[in-house]
Structure 1
Amino acid sequence: MRTTARNRRTVAAFAAIGALALTLAGCGGSEGASAPEASTEPTRPSVALPRLEGQRLQVVAVWTGPEQEAFTKVLKEFERRTGARVSYVPTQDAMLNYIGTKIAGGSPPDVAMLQQVGALRQAVERKWAKPAGADAKAQLARNYSQGWRDLGAVDGTQYGVYFKAANKSLIWYNTAVFDNAGVSEPKTWKELLATAETISASGVTPVSIGGADGWTLTDWFENVYLSQAGPEKYDQLARHGVKWTDPSVTRALTTLAELFGRPELIAGGAAGALQTEFPASVTQTFTGGDQPKAAMVFEGDFVSVNIAQTEAKVGTDAKVFPFPAVGGDAPVVTGGDVAVALTDKPAAQALLTFLASPDAAAVWAAEGGFLSPNRSLDPAAYPDDVQRGIAKALLDAGDDFRFDMSDQMPQSFGGTPGKGEWKALQDFLKNPKDIAGTQARLEADAAKAYRNEG
């Protein structure tokens, strides 16, 4: 992979996350952070919102549990400032299917938080989405970099507001296990495998994988592929400009098989991983004292939400390092949830405007498990230095990142449980020796999806 000054700057920013985690150990963890406490109700609103008494708004997203609770607080703040009444409905991952059913029944949601760039484009192509209004676009211009604005636009028209971002190039680890095994944070893929072997020899299974949720496996693949094949090839595969039978995919799957093909390194082996949902993959890494079911778990900044469901403390018991470099550079993969209006209600546009402001971001940031691409958000809004460091790294990267590949694809291939890429990679975890067969299935499913939906 060719290293450029821009890439080096991005990698350096994300590498600083590990240093922040180490710094926290010396200051007593997140409880010792000296940053000022954040308020969940901004005292000086940065955006004026209209009064909307009598208007009702329905918002749909995939968030449940702690994430739903945090987002509900955002919506409550919107209600307080506008007088509107907002109801929230959690949906399944295949949100376009849900929206389509509701539209066919004559009762579309007013605002949807879509997880895929491809889903946003499809919503526009189906004439479901409404362009963002002038106030929302003004907030975006003030608070967001061009790259994030572009992700919410289709053919030059702004539709979406990326409210919640994700850094999907992180590995979280149990510090007690690392200390007992005498290992440090790996910086390369080879070092990661060697670290895993040492941890295994110490009596703890090294890696936890939430394989029951196929999207976690797409994130594994994307980080390996981006680092190994490079950003240009990544962009080509994301738009199906190269086939999934390409040699670059062969190399990435072969690399993944170095881990997936060793069941002794995976909590529960392949069979156990395929029955482990993402939240459990996190909690089993940080429960059980110095003998948890696993030492490390890969996923985004939102892992901290699930760590909070255990007795572990981020910054002391749980630390984080960037996904190791497979090629020349460590990968920087992001994801996010984009708000899009599906009706012409003034309240729908007002909510988009609010979500594009730092006021809304500050509400969830204070709850933890949240990362905002809003560059006007005060870093003090985040609850600890680890999350502040992850957020700073994202903003310092500017537009030098790559968005989650599966989220850029047609939903039927890149975002549907039990189908397409999710299912193919679950089958690959079960049988990592079948690289050629996996590629053939991926290409067949991708070709069909792009032909029907792309």
Structure 2
Amino acid sequence: MRSTSNTIGTRRTVKAAATLLAGALALSLTACGSDDDKSGGSDSSTGSKESGGTLTLPKLDGTTLEVAAVWTGTEQANFKKVLAEFEKRTGAKITFVPAQDPIINFLGSKIAGGSPPDVAMLPQPGAIKQAADKGWAKPLGAEAQAELAKNYSQGWQDIGKVGDKQYGVYYKAANKSLIWYNAKVFENAGASDPATWKDLLTTAQTVYDSGVTPFSIGGADGWTLTDWFENVYLSQAGPEKYDQLAQHKIKWTDPSVKEALTTLAQVWGKKDWVAGGASGALQTEFPASVTQTFTGGEQPKAAMVYEGDFVQVNIADTKSKVGTDAKVFPFPKVGDTAPVVSGGDAAVILKDSKGAQALATFLASPDAAEIQAKLGGYLSPNKNVDVSVYPNEVQQTIAKALVAAGDDFRFDMSDQAPQAFGGTPGKGEWKDLQDFLKNPTDVAGIQAKLESDAAAAYGN
């Protein structure tokens, strides 16, 4: 079974990012906004006027490509604008192929049918390794590797490697250590931004006493629950234990896991603190968990929702403004240090061709990233992206912190795991934590189930 030993050494805590983010989020935030995309010039061998880029791309008239990703809604629409710029500059034609989770299974069926997409956006390092091990993924060519080396820290390059070969371009990143809140609810309740887990519990009680349910949880999507766990675990158990658990070098029956689950139960175990209770949360998908926090005037279904910087895409759907209607604070520290967990999506070539290699090169460039960055709800690990293109101060601050951290970050634990354990709806960690949300008193039982599923997936 898969191992994460080729990349784990680069995944360190983002202490610098946490400090930057905490300080900047205390500032007065500007409203979230996005201008219409203005595509660049017609000469395919020059940079885009949209981004000010200078990347040279080949002429690809007559070339057709397919790009698969699990993205939907606004996220998909914004990415299609990036693909449209590539089409304009090269003459290629690209079809976006909507994929289902787990995307590795979706790709398997496409490959078995003889029609794999040219490029796939893979959300887990584990999926990249599976694709490489199966011979599906093709290594990046010299031009794509050169663009990647120019624009990315070594840590972000290494996450896309399997052994000594570069397969992935991490086009999209995420800071998954943020809690967003309805500013009017907090104002009415007299609640304040918490810095510690204890403070968070106090804030939640204050909000509850004002007549609003504290938390919205998108429990129908198991990945949101793994993110909750990872933030608590990283802060409480520390980075060394986090790495050990990510590699299954310690068992899920370890006392540190018990402590983290017990801490989580302080929120998940209070049915009146979760919108709809456990049963309601388990029927709430991630987008709805956000929108129900920012609709309903002064009586929304919940006051707070946990998730990454990409929440802004869904906040925008409610017509709420970041900085006035919707505000954010860093995930409170449970131990000595506030956690910062990163995630991301990598472009991986499945059909090696001049067109696919050119697209991977483009996605590794600031030219591509700056198009989507200005639309909001997106974060790039590309260090040469001009942070001023992000549409609001929150996004600009998070982007600066990510770049300033360099190789100092911890990648999403479940995304490092084999897909069967950390990335499959209705199975493994996703299902086990859904069961825990349903019954947060059964810590030992869930630990045993997590360990059984992990051992089967890791093969140890």
TM-score by length of 1: 0.94
- Letter matched to residue 29 of structure 1: A
Structure 1: runs of 5+ lacking an equivalent: none
Please tell me whether residue 23 in structure 1 is matched to residue 28 in structure 2: yes
Q: CA deviation at 1:6?
A: 7.8
SS at match of 1:67: helix
Return the match for 1:339 from 336, 347, 360.
347
- Residues in 1 aligned to 2:36 and 2:193: alpha-carbon distance in whole angstroms: 30
SS at match of 1:383: coil
Return the match for 2:197 from 186, 189, 203.
189
Return the match for 1:274 from 248, 268, 282.
282
Q: Is the 2:160–2:167 contact (alpha carbons within 8 Å) kept by the matching residues of 1?
A: yes
SS at match of 1:23: coil
- Residues in 1 aligned to 2:348 and 2:204: alpha-carbon distance in whole angstroms: 42
Q: Is the 2:37–2:81 contact (alpha carbons within 8 Å) kept by the matching residues of 1?
A: no
Return the match for 1:98 from 82, 106, 109.
106
- Partner residue in 1 for 2:297: 289
- Partner residue in 2 for 1:305: 313
Q: CA deviation at 1:263?
A: 0.7
- Partner residue in 2 for 1:250: 258
- Residues in 2 aligned to 1:107 and 1:148: alpha-carbon distance in whole angstroms: 30
Return the match for 1:405 from 376, 388, 413.
413
- Residues in 2 aligned to 1:7 and 1:421: alpha-carbon distance in whole angstroms: 24
- Partner residue in 1 for 2:93: 85
Q: Deviations over 1:250-289 (max 9, x none)?
A: 0000000111110111111111111110000000000011
- Partner residue in 2 for 1:115: 123
Question: Kindly tell me: are residues 344 and 38 of structure 1, through their superposed partners in 2, closer, same or farther at Cα, counting changes over 3 Å?
Answer: closer
- Residues in 1 aligned to 2:53 and 2:16: alpha-carbon distance in whole angstroms: 33
SS at match of 1:327: coil
- Residues in 1 aligned to 2:228 and 2:87: alpha-carbon distance in whole angstroms: 39
Q: CA deviation at 1:345?
A: 1.4
Please tell me whether residue 223 in structure 1 is matched to residue 225 in structure 2: no
Question: Kindly tell me: are residues 8 and 239 of structure 1, through their superposed partners in 2, closer, same or farther at Cα, counting changes over 3 Å?
Answer: closer
Q: Is the 2:64–2:93 contact (alpha carbons within 8 Å) kept by the matching residues of 1?
A: yes
- Partner residue in 1 for 2:377: 369
Q: Deviations over 1:169-205 (max 9, x none)?
A: 0000111011111111101001001100000000100
Q: Is the 1:13–1:397 contact (alpha carbons within 8 Å) kept by the matching residues of 2?
A: no
Return the match for 1:385 from 393, 398, 409.
393
- Letter matched to residue 23 of structure 1: S
Please tell me whether residue 10 in structure 1 is matched to residue 17 in structure 2: yes
- Partner residue in 1 for 2:368: 360
- Partner residue in 2 for 1:206: 214
Q: CA deviation at 1:417?
A: 0.3
- Letter matched to residue 418 of structure 1: G
Q: Is the 2:13–2:339 contact (alpha carbons within 8 Å) kept by the matching residues of 1?
A: no
- Residues in 2 aligned to 1:10 and 1:313: alpha-carbon distance in whole angstroms: 24
Question: Kindly tell me: are residues 100 and 401 of structure 1, through their superposed partners in 2, closer, same or farther at Cα, counting changes over 3 Å?
Answer: same
Q: Deviations over 1:40-70 (max 9, x none)?
A: 5431432100001111101100001101100
Higher mean C-alpha deviation, range 388-397 or range 302-311: 388-397
Q: Is the 2:13–2:239 contact (alpha carbons within 8 Å) kept by the matching residues of 1?
A: no
Return the match for 1:151 from 159, 163, 166.
159
Please tell me whether residue 128 in structure 1 is matched to residue 145 in structure 2: no
Q: CA deviation at 1:37?
A: 10
Structure 1 vs Structure 2: percent identity of aligned residues?
A: 66
Q: How does 1:160-199 map to 2 (within 5 A)?
A: 160-199=168-207
- Partner residue in 2 for 1:264: 272
Q: CA deviation at 1:11?
A: 2.4
Q: CA deviation at 1:102?
A: 1.1
Q: Is the 2:15–2:408 contact (alpha carbons within 8 Å) kept by the matching residues of 1?
A: no
Q: Is the 1:260–1:429 contact (alpha carbons within 8 Å) kept by the matching residues of 2?
A: yes
Q: CA deviation at 1:137?
A: 0.8
Q: CA deviation at 1:161?
A: 0.2
* Count of residue pairs the alignment pairs up: 440
SS at match of 2:25: helix
Q: CA deviation at 1:38?
A: 8.4
- Residues in 1 aligned to 2:75 and 2:309: alpha-carbon distance in whole angstroms: 13
- Partner residue in 1 for 2:332: 324
Runs of 4+ in 1 over 2 A off after TM superposition: 5-11, 28-31, 36-42
Structure 2: runs of 5+ lacking an equivalent: 1-11, 41-47
Question: Kindly tell me: are residues 58 and 6 of structure 1, through their superposed partners in 2, closer, same or farther at Cα, counting changes over 3 Å?
Answer: closer
Q: Is the 2:177–2:339 contact (alpha carbons within 8 Å) kept by the matching residues of 1?
A: yes
- Letter matched to residue 407 of structure 2: D
Please tell me whether residue 425 in structure 1 is matched to residue 420 in structure 2: no
RMSD, aligned α-carbons: 1.7
SS at match of 1:281: helix
SS at match of 1:186: coil
SS at match of 1:320: strand
Q: Deviations over 1:106-146 (max 9, x none)?
A: 11111000000100011111111110111111111111111
Q: Is the 1:16–1:393 contact (alpha carbons within 8 Å) kept by the matching residues of 2?
A: no
SS at match of 2:328: strand
Q: Is the 1:17–1:322 contact (alpha carbons within 8 Å) kept by the matching residues of 2?
A: no
- Partner residue in 2 for 1:437: 445
SS at match of 2:28: helix
Q: CA deviation at 1:14?
A: 2.3
- Residues in 1 aligned to 2:319 and 2:21: alpha-carbon distance in whole angstroms: 27
SS at match of 2:329: strand
SS at match of 1:244: coil
Q: Is the 1:285–1:296 contact (alpha carbons within 8 Å) kept by the matching residues of 2?
A: yes
- Partner residue in 2 for 1:60: 68
TM-score by length of 2: 0.93
Q: Is the 2:13–2:340 contact (alpha carbons within 8 Å) kept by the matching residues of 1?
A: no
Q: Deviations over 1:381-407 (max 9, x none)?
A: 111111111111211222211000000
Question: Kindly tell me: are residues 388 and 39 of structure 1, through their superposed partners in 2, closer, same or farther at Cα, counting changes over 3 Å?
Answer: farther
